[in-house]
Copies of this chain bind each other. A is one copy, B any other.
């Protein structure tokens, strides 16, 4: 079972694609060809896409799905008569919102992915710079500035999670690798004990860690299954001993790890609007 899904936007397309991807992920027995058409600045461009949709519809046994966050009334009208199942987000949400709030919207393309003020921008770039500078235990004299400090043995997902938190939520995220000396002594490194309330531990299934490390450095002591088992076991002992909240990332995406940390540490998500 196969069909096509279009994602139309007059701006970045991030909102309509995020929504559309979530929706089609609910239909796991269907295969969707996904076509992105962001930055549709004029009705003329939309008319072209409408033709594209018509052409694909003609050759498709199932209806073509169109997710649109277009704002221009003229552009939206062009889709109304198109042979497809149209989800016009503007229509579905903005109009009821206007009615219930008794206020008109700005009738401009959504600005949630726009730059915002210079201060917003600076705050975000500062969070990213902090995170880059405090990756992998570097620059640890700076931890009083961190919103959260992620700890774990090598290859549990610390760096991608930290960058995701900084870029998408403006969270100053440091990360610190637990190394053999920390593990064998069963003692938290001194630098971390001062910031215990900021710590969050990552753990992972040792077999999965072994696979990930094999990709990185095959047939080394570092990637041996017994070494992975030892590191994970002792890291978890450490987390429990110091009452550090921790999480098994074996089956989690970066998004899930990042948002779970915010949820667990009750850190307010900061977005620019």
A-side residues, CB < 8 A to B, are 1, 3, 11-15, 17-19, 21-30, 34, 36, 38-39, 62-63, 65, 69, 85, 87, 89, 92-94, 96-97, 100-103, 105-108, 110-116, 118, 121-122, 124-125, 128, 132, 159-160, 163-164, 167, 211, 215, 251-256, 259-260, 263, 269, 271-273
Q: How far is the CA of A116 from the CA of B21 in the complex (A)?
A: 13
User: Assembly of this chain: how many copies?
Assistant: 2
Chain B residues with Cβ below 8 Å from A97 are 23, 26-27, 65, 85
Chain B residues with Cβ below 8 Å from A211 are 118
Q: Do A114 and B256 have beta carbons less than 8 Å apart?
A: yes
Q: Show 12 A/B contacts (Cβ-Cβ < 8 Å), sorted by A.
A: A19-B89, A21-B271, A22-B69, A23-B97, A30-B103, A36-B269, A38-B259, A63-B100, A65-B101, A87-B96, A113-B253, A113-B255
Q: Do A163 and B22 have beta carbons less than 8 Å apart?
A: no
Q: Do B111 and A254 have beta carbons less than 8 Å apart?
A: no
Q: Do A85 and B100 have beta carbons less than 8 Å apart?
A: yes
Q: Which residue of B lies closest to A166 (CB)?
A: B163
Given contact pairs A19-B19, A39-B260, A101 touches B215 in the complex (Cβ within 8 A): no
Chain B residues with Cβ below 8 Å from A128 are 159-160, 163
Give, as a whole number of angstroms, the nearest-CB distance from A61 to chain B: 11
Given A14-B18, A19-B93, A87-B93, 7 other A-B contacts at CB below 8 A?
A12-B255, A15-B22, A23-B110, A85-B96, A115-B251, A121-B253, A124-B254
Q: How far is the CA of A100 from the CA of B271 in the complex (A)?
A: 35
Q: How far is the CA of A21 from the CA of B18 in the complex (A)?
A: 12
Q: Do A14 and B101 have beta carbons less than 8 Å apart?
A: no
Q: Do A259 and B15 have beta carbons less than 8 Å apart?
A: no
Chain B residues with Cβ below 8 Å from A118 are 211
Q: Do A14 and B259 have beta carbons less than 8 Å apart?
A: yes
